[in-house]
């Protein structure tokens, strides 16, 4: 596994407890939209105090698998405030106020796209990627649902040809193994859960860490391909 790829532990509604079990992760993602038992800003503050690992803050759109209950303005406002405690903020490519959010967030941004139903065509995938590059994102994140092994090959080839830090995720059963394998092909990040999966086919943090140990074959680093998460 490329040493410059990062395993991200995804924290949900039990974030304050889960962060204590994320010692093997390289980074933390806090899903603010999954928090139901308290003030999300107080939760991310507590997570920040509990770990020195880089934190990604996100409040996922309902249309892209999220559970946020408020308005889009409230969601963007939450992300802007959460950025104070985070090292990165994840904003969806298709968010209505994407450019407004990116302009106001004073931390590196991960621009993300999710397709829970299928795999974009080659032309569509290229268009998504090119649009992400226009946003000047620190990392582009594309999560799709392969329908064939050929789709998995397309994902790996797309990673090999990337000219900016790119995370690609294959959701669902057919692409599940790519969560462990994609970092070998240059995926900047791969995400694992602590206690409960937050996306189709997601592996646990323990599974990803074991896979990294098993698959690490000393692949040479490729400058410019993988992001260097900033220290808090």
Q: Which residues are catalytic?
A: 114, 141
Confirm if 62 and 89 have CB atoms less than 8 A apart.
no
The torsion defined by the Cα of 177, 179, 180 and 184, in degrees rounded to 10, comes to 110
| Placement of tokens 């797309």 in the chain | 158
With helix as H, strand as E and coil as C, how does the chain read? CCCCCEEEEEECCCHHHHHHHCCCCCEEEEEHHHCCCCCHHHHHHHHHHHCCCCEEEECCCHHHCCCCCCCHHHHHHHHHHHCCCCCEEEEECCCCCHHHHHHHCCCCEEEEEECCCCCCCHHHHHHHHHHHHHCCCCEEEEEECCCCHHHHHHHHHHHHCCCCCEEEEECCCCCCCHHHHHHHHCCCEEEEECCCCCCCCCEEHHHHHHHHHHHCCCCCCCCCCCCCCCCC
């Amino acid at each position: 596994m490329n040493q410059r790829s990062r395993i991200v532990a995804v924290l949900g509604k039990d974030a304050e407890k889960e962060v204590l079990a994320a010692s093997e992760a390289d980074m933390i993602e806090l899903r603010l939209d999954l928090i139901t038992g308290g003030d999300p800003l107080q939760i991310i503050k507590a997570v920040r105090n509990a770990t020195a690992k880089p934190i990604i803050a996100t409040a996922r759109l309902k249309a892209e698998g999220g559970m946020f209950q408020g308005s889009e303005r409230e969601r963007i406002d939450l992300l802007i405030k959460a950025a104070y405690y985070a090292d990165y903020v994840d904003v969806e490519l298709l968010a209505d106020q994407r450019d407004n959010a990116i302009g106001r967030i004073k931390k590196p941004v991960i621009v993300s796209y999710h397709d829970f139903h299928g795999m974009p065509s080659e032309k569509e995938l290229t268009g998504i990627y090119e649009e992400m590059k226009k946003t000047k994102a620190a990392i582009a994140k594309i999560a799709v649902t392969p329908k064939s092994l050929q789709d998995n090959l397309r994902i790996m080839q797309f990673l090999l040809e990337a000219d900016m830090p790119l995370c690609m995720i294959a959701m669902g059963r057919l692409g599940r193994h790519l969560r462990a394998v994609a970092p070998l092909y240059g995926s900047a990040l791969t995400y694992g859960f602590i206690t409960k999966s937050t996306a189709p086919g997601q592996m646990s943090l323990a599974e990803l860490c074991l896979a990294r140990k098993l698959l690490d074959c000393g692949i040479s680093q490729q400058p410019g391909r993988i992001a260097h998460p900033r220290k808090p």
